[in-house]
Amino acid sequence: MTRFPLALAAALALSLTACGGDDDKKGAGTPLTPVPSSTPSTPTAASTVPVTRTTDELTKALLELNDLPSGFSQEKDESDDGSKPFSSSSSRCKTLVKYLNATKAPGSKASVTRTFTGGQEGPYIDYGLDSMGTAAEVADLRDSYAKAVDSCTKVTLKTEGSGNTSMKVEKITAPSYGTKPFAFRLTGTSGPKRGLEYTAAVTGVDDVILSVGVLAGQGGELEPATEAAVTKARQVLKTA
């Protein structure tokens, strides 16, 4: 499952987080265009027999730098320091806060992530694959995540040295790739990261849950990023 890139959020230029930052970021960074891929297929009935995936296998199924348009570079892996940047005073947001702070999907048997950047001001695109064992486990987690988003209207993001930012939570139209995809957006509405935007999509690829997160994007990255990620995962993992 994707990790909210906290270190990248803290390091973003002020033009992205100040009032009016949306106007500045639309012309910044490298646009993401679709990687040639097949047309989305209709999901078929999945096997209930648990599938074992190795970390190496999942890593090969992640997009690599040469799969992306020119102008992107790969970020170094962030070590898990145990930080929990998201919080909320509302009990209705408890599950979403748990998922946003997680470095891997709950119940994951193996998990890998990879992050790319299109420049100093973004976009930052994070890809994640988590092996859940069966398609049913993937569906359960996806439904739980979607319910958590529907139940919560805002969360608080804490960035070291910058204070707290209130972020609006809203469900958005999901890219139509994978099995039962859903997507959501976090938008900074007040605080030091006001104007900061993070969008994410979560979808199933048989027994694997695939997630894509875009920080400081220009508005059109999530669709082609998800399409490319699902296409490669299906090809490498040999799913339906």
Give the residue carrying structure tokens 């012309």.
27
Contact 182, 139 (CB under 8 A): no
Cα–Cα dist 240/230, whole Å: 11
| CB count in 10 Å sphere of residue 126 | 25
CA atoms within 13 A on the CB side of 140: 11
Cα–Cα dist 199/186, whole Å: 6
Phi, psi dihedral angles at 151 (to 5 degrees): -85, -15
For the sheet with 208-215, list strands across it.
73-74, 110-117, 124-131, 208-215, 197-205, 179-190, 163-172, 154-159, 86-87
Whole-Å CA distances, 238 to 4, 57, 123, 159: 28, 11, 30, 40
Give the residue carrying structure tokens 């959020």.
9
Whole-Å CA distances, 65 to 1, 9, 45, 186: 19, 21, 33, 26
Domain ranges (residues) in the chain:
6-32+50-237
Give the containing element (helix H, strand E) for 140: helix 135-151
Whole-Å CA distances, 160 to 198, 201, 237: 18, 26, 38
Nearest of 101, 116, 110 to residue 221 by alpha carbon: 116
pLDDT at position 62, please?
96
- The domain 6-32+50-237 is classified under which CATH number: 3.40.1000.70, 3.40.50.300, 3.50.50.60, 3.20.190.10? 3.40.1000.70
**pLDDT string in tens for the chain (240-residue length):** 666 665 555 544 333 433 334 444 443 444 454 444 444 444 444 557 899 999 999 999 999 999 998 999 998 876 666 778 899 999 999 999 999 998 889 999 999 999 999 988 889 999 999 999 999 999 999 999 999 999 999 999 998 777 899 999 999 999 999 999 999 999 999 999 999 999 999 999 999 999 999 998 888 999 999 999 999 999 999 875
Structure pTM? Answer: 0.83
Cα–Cα dist 103/2, whole Å: 7
Residues 6+ apart with CB under 8 A from 225: 32, 125, 127, 212, 214
Residues 6+ apart with CB under 8 A from 56: none
